[in-house]
Amino acid sequence: MRCRARVFGDDVTLDEIHPSRYFSLDPERVVQGLMAGIEPRFFKTIEDGDIIVAGRHFGMGSGRESGAWAIQLAGIKVVIAESFSRYMFRNCVNRGIWPLKVEGILDKVSEKDPLDVYPEKGSVVLEDGEELTFEPFPSRMVKIIKSNTGAEDDVR
């Protein structure tokens, strides 16, 4: 999967990923809140193939699933982080988003860098050809992620 990295730092909290004022059942409203605690108009800048890259503890704090839903609605299929909060990890799986735990990713990827991601193989190939690997998901989890992926969810 050919992707473009949208890079955030360590300790990105759910209150920043999706501020509570965007809590809604209206998909248009929900997607507007994506990353609004850090970059208010982030959702406007998303292009096909964009993925989120972050450091440690992505999604710490609240368990509100509207965060993962906003990522899904924006058409983002992959989040790579050094580590995830338990809630963000489970919510991503349930929303058909691959939460990939890749050590050292933040040091090696800059904003808008292209990269190739092979979620099932457990591999990320950077622009210069360097390959970073991670432990692939058990088949049961792959099945859950795939069954929850829906192209029609992209409302950008």
Taking the complex as a whole, how short is the minimal distance between the CB of residue 139 and other proteins, in angstroms?
Answer: 12
Taking the complex as a whole, how short is the minimal distance between the CB of residue 61 and other proteins, in angstroms?
Answer: 5
Helices and strands in the chain, H and E counts: 6, 7
Q: Taking a C-beta distance cutoff of 8 angstroms, is the pair 96, 148 a contact?
A: yes
Among 20, 45, 110, 149, binds other proteins (CB under 8 A): 20
48 makes contact with other proteins (CB under 8 A): no
Q: How far apart are CA 125 and CA 36, in angstroms?
A: 29
Taking the complex as a whole, how short is the minimal distance between the CB of residue 48 and other proteins, in angstroms?
Answer: 25
Q: Taking a C-beta distance cutoff of 8 angstroms, is the pair 4, 127 a contact?
A: no
For other proteins, the closer of residues 6 and 95 by Cβ is 95
Q: Taking a C-beta distance cutoff of 8 angstroms, is the pair 79, 32 a contact?
A: no
Q: Taking a C-beta distance cutoff of 8 angstroms, is the pair 47, 4 a contact?
A: yes
Taking the complex as a whole, how short is the minimal distance between the CB of residue 14 and other proteins, in angstroms?
Answer: 8
83 makes contact with other proteins (CB under 8 A): yes
Q: What is the dihedral of CA 82, 98, 139, 94, to 10 degrees?
A: 110
100 makes contact with other proteins (CB under 8 A): no
19 makes contact with other proteins (CB under 8 A): yes
Contact residues: other proteins, CB under 8 A: 11, 13, 15-16, 19-21, 23-26, 37, 56-57, 60-66, 68-69, 83, 85-87, 90-91, 94-95, 138, 148
